[in-house]
Amino acid sequence: MNSSDDGSRPVPSVIPVSGGERPDLRSFHVREDVALAGRCGNVHLATGRTCILPERHQGSCDFVGPEDASGVAH
């Protein structure tokens, strides 16, 4: 029997964070300096490119090279 078979939902494993802190900053696939600048900061691990769209944007990420992402972080 799977957990979905009994109608229950899986419990996400989320590390508690202090008020206002972005929980995704604790993930190694988020570039912290870009995320702290109010941007998405997700890193495409296969290419090392970083999304510079606004935090919690809708739709797909817009990944750019490390140099461009560094410009956003400053």
The predicted model gives 21-48 an average pLDDT of 87
Q: What is the pLDDT of residue 12?
A: 44
Domain of 39? 25-73
Average pLDDT, rounded, for the chain: 80
- Name the band, by pLDDT with cuts 50, 70 and 90, for residue 63: very high
* pLDDT value at 13 more than 60: no
pTM higher than the cut 0.85: no
List % helix, strand, coil for the chain (3-state, nearest 5).
Answer: 25, 15, 60
**Does residue 39 fall inside a structural domain?**
yes
The verdict on residue 16 lying in a domain is no
The amino acid that residue 58 corresponds to is Q
The domain total for the chain is: 1
